[in-house]
Structure 1
Amino acid sequence: MGINSPLNRKLRMGLVGGGQGSFIGRVHSIAACLDNRAVVTAGALSSNPERSKASAPDYDIDPARAYGSYQEMLDAEAKLPEGERIDFVSVTTPNHTHFEIAKAAVEAGFHVVCDKPMTFDLAQAESLLESVQKSNVVFAVTHNYTGYPLIRQAREMILGGELGEINAIRSQYIQGWLRTSLEAEDQKQAAWRTDPSKSGAAGAFGDIATHAYNLGRYMTGLLPDSVSCSLKSFVEGRRLDDYGTAVIRYENGGLGTVTASQISHGRENDFEIEIDGTKGSLRWRQENPNEMIVRRNGSPHQIYTRDPGGSHMNGSGAAACRLPAGHPEAFFEAFANIYAAVFDAIAKRAEGGPVEKRDTIYPNVFDGVEGMYFIQQCVESNIQNSAWLPLKHEAARR
């Protein structure tokens, strides 16, 4: 079977963002190309045209396809023969630019992989959902933690009833890199993430709590009912939150908590989730992603390791593995699992099959809308002294 059958070739990637000094753009390019199913073909790598073109050699992009802006890239690529133009666009820019880039790419007929949060605000997310629904494109949002093998393992276990009825989800994402005012030093990543005009209405909650919330939804399938949230900025002069906690009520009667911090000393990228059910509970930690603990009263604790050949692994978990047991897989591979599922969908579309937009293994435009609604309601709840607010967005339900 050829690569990306029936296309039998690599998919051509158009990268927006990822210029010199970027973190997430480089991650996207590595993940997309990890399985030899895609190649970075074109790019608008910076909002500065000169820097964009100067960054092209870092990705081995032909100078003729190193564009000064995303619109220039979309216009030029759309005019190329079908056998030469890019197949999909990856949006890896700051939050406030996601909507216009993704919407333009969708309307030009290109598949899209968009970094999270999907848009700047909820209104943009709802507008983008409408555009995607009218199109025939594949659209994914890179909540990359959904791609870890043991997360896929846990999801199948939970949805299959192995933990019983889910009572509680505790998800926390703790960092310490913004303990001091790095934005005052014009540190690139800090500068835009703490700027309301670029990051949106939330700081840490928009940046990392969205991951924590999404992962609980992805693993359990529980539908949220309402939320109460308290946000705070502990660094003097900072305009957006750097710490916060939300309590979530789910429709089945379960409770959830989401805590996010970017000011905790010594914490690097400590994302952890625990899920309690009537038959058992489990715990997974991103900094030790190849292990998951499952506990049941009266039984020894079980440590699940990432082992594609192990009898304890289910189909979803094993399918997300690339290496034998004992060979750690982590951040890049999880990102690559998102891309692999997107490529499968693009290949199916090439066969003339329908594009599934809602029930996908990868996070999609509906998840993106729900994430933006979560941010909006958390910010508003905080303004209203942690009032309980609805967390049902009917258009985004899945």
Structure 2
Amino acid sequence: MPKKIKLGILGGGGDSLIGVLHRIASHINDNYEIVGAVFNPDLGESIKFAKEIDIPTNRIYNDFETLVEEELKLPKEERIQVCSILTPNFLHFPMAKKLLENGFHVICEKPMTTTYDEAKILQKLLDKSNLVFAVTHTYTGYPMTRQMREMIKSGALGKIQKVDAQYYQGWINPIIHDKSKRGSTWRLDPEKSGISCCMGDIGVHAFNMIEFTTGLQIKSILADLNYLYDDNKMDIDGTVLVRFEGNAKGVIRSSQIATGEENGLTIAVYGDKGALKWEQENPNFLYAMSDDKPVQIYKPGHAYNSELSLDGTKLPPGHPEGIFDAMANIYLGVARAIRGEKYNSGEFPTMNDGVRGLNFIESTVKSHQQGNSWVNLIK
């Protein structure tokens, strides 16, 4: 087996959920070794955290700029090959840009940047390079969403007629109703989060899931966003109507004030021959429906699944896999790409998905601000 890929981590220290998700995912398939990091803006905290998770501290750097500068001084076979960007949104673009300019592969949390223009700048940089850039839309890593993608690609549903994607959470309720709290979280600060909270954070996942599973590109959208309070600058709820080429239509429903909801991402795709439905909170079940047959349930690990689905399954049937495994499948695909190995285009979201995501986010806000009018997404 080739030597492990040398991985650097930016952000994700302390009790960060996204940090532990990425670190564990990088280890699951034995492809990566974390060799350097800036876990925290405070060097002392970064070193302390590195010791807690048993990572050598000699390449824990004071800041991002120092990491790039010092790593470039090392022999190529020793330096970091790929960096995972796990910071608040406003840092994604400057970090990704500098990494690409200096020859590092990138794994970036979504949204890839805070503006569509920034995303296009990164795209131009990547096009001039021979580097790998992944955006961690984690839910594309589940075996059953991959099975959904392959079944739709094979024509199992016939012509797509309707798509319904929902992403409901309730986590922001304790914050949004307290004026002092909603003014202190970075998620509701446009300077740090970008122009959208709900659509920028979770609505974009639903958007990505639609395009990932159906293979279709959304052509235009009409958005109605909810800010709830006049002094709140960021959307925390919204509904988006979507149109595809031809006559297919759909809806994205996204909320962070859906009281009692946890992580309710669901997607249903309806064709003229049948339909498929998947729920993130029950990720090992893919429901196949039709007008003339009982509902069928597809589960991971069985020989009836596609090669892409089985490649993302690590355990025998009946052994539940979850979010760590889904993220690990993305890291596995990136490892194959970095090593120049053959891989399926569905193994990890690319910069193109990141650019499309920013196009969607900005278009939803534009549609809402223009009085809930239709806005075309740029191809």
User: Is 1:239 aligned to residue 239 of structure 2?
Assistant: no
Paired with 2:63 and 2:285, the residues of 1 have a C-alpha distance of 42
Identity of aligned residues (%): 38
Paired with 2:314 and 2:346, the residues of 1 have a C-alpha distance of 21
Relative to structure 2, which stretch is displaced further, 358-367 or 241-250?
Answer: 358-367
RMSD value over aligned CA atoms?
1.9
Tell me, which stretches of 5 or more residues in structure 2 are unaligned?
A: none
Q: Which residue of 2 aligns with 1:5?
A: none
SS at match of 2:268: strand
User: Is 1:45 aligned to residue 31 of structure 2?
Assistant: no
User: Is 1:336 aligned to residue 343 of structure 2?
Assistant: no
Q: Which residue of 1 aligns with 2:314?
A: 322
Question: How many residues are treated as equivalent by the alignment?
Answer: 378
- Give deviations 1:112-161, integer Å, cap 9, x for gaps: 00000000111110001111111111100000100100000010000110
Q: Which residue of 1 aligns with 2:54?
A: 60
Partner residue of 2:357 out of 359, 371, 374: 371
SS at match of 1:91: strand
Q: Which residue of 1 aligns with 2:104?
A: 110
What residue identity is the alignment partner of 1:345?
A: A
What residue identity is the alignment partner of 2:334?
A: V
Paired with 1:110 and 1:184, the residues of 2 have a C-alpha distance of 42
Deviation at 1:184, TM superposition (A): 5.6
Structure 1 length-normalised TM: 0.91
User: Is 1:345 aligned to residue 331 of structure 2?
Assistant: no
- Give deviations 1:257-279, integer Å, cap 9, x for gaps: 11111111110001000000011
Q: Which residue of 2 aligns with 1:361?
A: 347
Relative to structure 2, which stretch is displaced further, 51-60 or 178-187?
Answer: 178-187
Question: Do 1:271 and 1:287's aligned partners in 2 also have CA atoms closer than 8 Å?
Answer: yes
Question: Do 1:179 and 1:235's aligned partners in 2 also have CA atoms closer than 8 Å?
Answer: no
What residue identity is the alignment partner of 2:65?
A: Q
Partner residue of 2:82 out of 63, 78, 88: 88
Question: Do 1:180 and 1:235's aligned partners in 2 also have CA atoms closer than 8 Å?
Answer: no
Paired with 1:184 and 1:27, the residues of 2 have a C-alpha distance of 31
- 1:128-143 correspondence runs (5 A): 128-143=122-137
User: Is 1:27 aligned to residue 21 of structure 2?
Assistant: yes
Deviation at 1:185, TM superposition (A): 6.4
Partner residue of 1:77 out of 71, 74, 85: 71
Question: Do 2:182 and 2:232's aligned partners in 1 also have CA atoms closer than 8 Å?
Answer: no
Paired with 1:235 and 1:24, the residues of 2 have a C-alpha distance of 29
User: Is 1:258 aligned to residue 252 of structure 2?
Assistant: yes
Tell me, which stretches of 5 or more residues in structure 1 are unaligned?
A: 3-7
Deviation at 1:59, TM superposition (A): 3.3
SS at match of 1:63: coil
Paired with 1:235 and 1:325, the residues of 2 have a C-alpha distance of 48
